[in-house]
A and B are shown apart, each in its own frame.
Chain A
């Protein structure tokens, strides 16, 4: 009887033959569905190669004008051209239509919602995600873990993208988001740092050529 235990342990089958690909091993990269950001250097360091689908991503930035919205524009353009609706929830200023058109976003699929209270912002985002929004861009200061989880669940339902814009003083806080980016500008050039990404260890990032695309326009007009 005593020898039976170790034998059984040795003969235990490989879990993957039982459960297929559903088992994730820590040394492998997880399967992540993602949508390319449109910036090659950024895509290279993100698991899945872009914005995670059906998950919450946070973009932390200290002030407007660091290229935080330009980072999302290629995604928005692709989604709207594929007839998927997108929404801006509580943007701090007007999302400027000529710039959106210039980036290739189809305005007929864009919706702007301006709820005053934080609770309403989260509620609106959740409603839109459940109604199969392609992407929801949400500006909010404080978001508790419980609400971020709710957004996460709503995003999973229809594989929507959630981009939460928050001040970068929350960079040290831990959140359940799948991806956390920090953006700032140094000597005129935009910088992106991956603080956290689900599926792999964050790697340092050099934007290289993408920096020009993000920092449009060049101060010196041609």
Chain B
């Protein structure tokens, strides 16, 4: 087993859809409130009162665990394409000063050959993660717990952390205590075997363990500083003093005990709810969250190897009112940009009747994806995609009924001999019954006209049909020149009224 673990320290913030650099998420326990996401000035765990006293214009958001889990779950569906099993966990101690740890694991041991090696896989994964709008630290190790610890130990180089001076933050030792011993890169070198894992872990500080503060304090008090100190202790004595659970956790870290976990598998349908941090009135400001949902949907489609036929976006407003938008695609695809364009065109056309509070993206209509395989000599596959995308853009702007394909129908009555086939529909080339000349432009409704002067050699084509479905016609058609244009006219048998029905354009 080779586990790749992502640690997402900014997940509480990104799950709320906030993108401002000065926004922080706070957790609360009793009267204590503390930051759980780091900013440029403060590290996670700083008391909110202290942060506000130094930076009064900090944008404070309250943590929403449910949103965090949804965001983590959708990331799990994305990472599914890199290997399986996939599992995710948010480790939350609910202790003042401690941040929750959002962790996502994927077993990559079997996928290495497919992606062209560990480095290629990691680079691809990190690149895609950035486009999804998440920052993560990566750890790779033979055990889940080991990979998680390595991921958490990765230093955040880009974030200079102002040391918390007050004692309110009760993390026993500073996270930066031994920066010098860590590699400077954004990740540890991948670890392939347990011996090497033990050697690497032994150098890490105890404070990295996501254990209750009480236990860490006790260990710190005994004079244990690194994990190596823990590994050197006699097992029985350690278990007796700190509990069997602590010993079990250590064993799992080193691969001495099994690590049961619930695996995550993408569900049959995609439903993603996104609560907006504030009411939004302008369509433009919905673009950012919408784009993100579309990217997630694309990741889901890739993981399940499906193509999308139709997608529904429900925008919720105050007072349980909703606006529903539906986009149907010409061919099944999994292109986030196309999904986004189709939904945005519809949003811009209709506008928002009321400020939006929540977005819900549902995709249930799937098919085999017609993903263009790259072909050196044939550009047609790409052109078909471009054509379908253009049709969707036009349909989004004009409405569904303004686009159609003319289709011949085997019927003798002229107005029933064709129909407007809506897209997307499999068009079959029906045999036409017509043997006589037919006009190239047909009027939607025949125009009544005064009786024309007929040439002496006028020939008529009689059409009598349709008694079975109520559309009974009895007509004599002929071709006539009217004002220099060649027209198709008929006389209704019975009433004798003349009508203009089409032009030989």
Say whether, besides A120-B398, A124-B394, A131 and B485 are in contact (CB < 8 Å).
no
Task: Indicate if the CB atoms of A127 and B484 lie closer than 8 Å.
Answer: no
Task: Indicate if the CB atoms of B398 and A124 lie closer than 8 Å.
Answer: yes
B461 contacts across to A, CB distance below 8 A: 221
Task: Check B418 for interface membership: any CB of A closer than 8 A.
Answer: yes
Checking B397, B432, B503 against A98 with a beta-carbon cut-off of 8 angstroms, the contacting residue is B432
Stretch among B224-232, B302-310, B434-442 lining the A interface: B434-442
Task: Indicate if the CB atoms of B505 and A113 lie closer than 8 Å.
Answer: no
Task: Indicate if the CB atoms of A70 and B441 lie closer than 8 Å.
Answer: no
Checking A110, A113, A216, A217 against B394 with a beta-carbon cut-off of 8 angstroms, the contacting residue is A113
Checking A91, A115, A185, A219 against B485 with a beta-carbon cut-off of 8 angstroms, the contacting residue is A185
B503 contacts across to A, CB distance below 8 A: 64-65, 93
Stretch among B96-104, B158-166, B379-387 lining the A interface: B379-387
B397 contacts across to A, CB distance below 8 A: 120, 123
Task: Indicate if the CB atoms of B440 and A70 lie closer than 8 Å.
Answer: yes
Which B residues, 3 to 38, have Cβ-Cβ distances below 8 Å to chain A? none
What residue of chain B has the Cβ atom nearest to residue A131's Cβ? B390
Which B residues, 461 to 489, have Cβ-Cβ distances below 8 Å to chain A? 461, 479-487
Say whether, besides A66-B485, A112-B404, A96 and B440 are in contact (CB < 8 Å).
yes
What is the minimal beta-carbon distance from A181 to any residue of chain B, in angstroms? 14
Which B residues, 83 to 104, have Cβ-Cβ distances below 8 Å to chain A? none
What is the minimal beta-carbon distance from A82 to any residue of chain B, in angstroms? 11
Task: Check A63 for interface membership: any CB of B closer than 8 A.
Answer: yes
Task: Indicate if the CB atoms of B441 and A111 lie closer than 8 Å.
Answer: no
Task: Check B371 for interface membership: any CB of A closer than 8 A.
Answer: no
Checking A98, A113, A185 against B418 with a beta-carbon cut-off of 8 angstroms, the contacting residue is A98
B417 contacts across to A, CB distance below 8 A: 97-98
- A79 to B255 CA separation, bound complex (whole angstroms): 66
Task: Check A73 for interface membership: any CB of B closer than 8 A.
Answer: yes
- A133 to B504 CA separation, bound complex (whole angstroms): 25
B408 contacts across to A, CB distance below 8 A: 97-98, 100-101, 107
B390 contacts across to A, CB distance below 8 A: 127-128, 130-131
- A85 to B391 CA separation, bound complex (whole angstroms): 11
What is the minimal beta-carbon distance from A205 to any residue of chain B, in angstroms? 18
Task: Check B268 for interface membership: any CB of A closer than 8 A.
Answer: no
Task: Indicate if the CB atoms of B502 and A96 lie closer than 8 Å.
Answer: yes
- A111 to B487 CA separation, bound complex (whole angstroms): 25
A124 contacts across to B, CB distance below 8 A: 394, 398
Task: Indicate if the CB atoms of A111 and B485 lie closer than 8 Å.
Answer: no
Task: Indicate if the CB atoms of B440 and A99 lie closer than 8 Å.
Answer: yes
Checking A64, A85, A127 against B441 with a beta-carbon cut-off of 8 angstroms, the contacting residue is A64
Give 1 or 0 for each of B388-409: 1 = CB within 8 Å of chain A CB.
Answer: 0111011001100011111111
Task: Report which residue of A69, A97, A112, A220 has the largest number of chain B beta carbons within 10 angstroms of its beta carbon.
Answer: A97
Give 1 or 0 for each of A45-78: 1 = CB within 8 Å of chain B CB.
Answer: 0000000000000000011111111100100000
What residue of chain A has the Cβ atom nearest to residue B379's Cβ? A132
Checking A67, A91, A185 against B481 with a beta-carbon cut-off of 8 angstroms, the contacting residue is A185
What is the minimal beta-carbon distance from B486 to any residue of chain A, in angstroms? 5
Say whether, besides A102-B438, A130-B390, A66 and B402 are in contact (CB < 8 Å).
no
Checking B398, B418, B459, B482 against A221 with a beta-carbon cut-off of 8 angstroms, the contacting residue is B459
Task: Indicate if the CB atoms of B429 and A107 lie closer than 8 Å.
Answer: yes
Say whether, besides A97-B418, A102-B432, A215 and B405 are in contact (CB < 8 Å).
no
- A94 to B446 CA separation, bound complex (whole angstroms): 12
Checking B405, B438, B483 against A99 with a beta-carbon cut-off of 8 angstroms, the contacting residue is B438
Task: Check A114 for interface membership: any CB of B closer than 8 A.
Answer: yes
What residue of chain B has the Cβ atom nearest to residue A68's Cβ? B505
Task: Check B182 for interface membership: any CB of A closer than 8 A.
Answer: no
A102 contacts across to B, CB distance below 8 A: 432, 434, 438
9 A-B pairs closest in CB distance: A65-B485, A217-B437, A131-B390, A97-B418, A65-B503, A221-B459, A69-B505, A108-B427, A93-B441
What are 23 pairs between A and B in contact, CB < 8 Å?
A62-B484, A63-B485, A64-B503, A66-B505, A69-B440, A92-B441, A93-B441, A96-B418, A96-B439, A97-B418, A98-B418, A99-B438, A102-B438, A107-B407, A108-B429, A111-B391, A111-B404, A115-B402, A123-B397, A127-B390, A130-B386, A131-B383, A220-B459
User: Could you tell me which B residues sit within 8 Å of A by CB distance?
Assistant: 380, 383, 386-387, 389-391, 393-394, 397-398, 402-409, 417-420, 423, 427-429, 432, 434, 436-444, 455, 457-459, 461, 479-487, 502-505
**Besides the known contacts A91-B441, A115-B402, A131-B383, 16 further A-B residue pairs in the complex with CB atoms under 8 A apart:** A64-B503, A64-B505, A65-B504, A93-B442, A94-B418, A97-B419, A98-B418, A101-B408, A107-B405, A127-B390, A128-B390, A131-B391, A133-B387, A216-B437, A217-B479, A221-B459
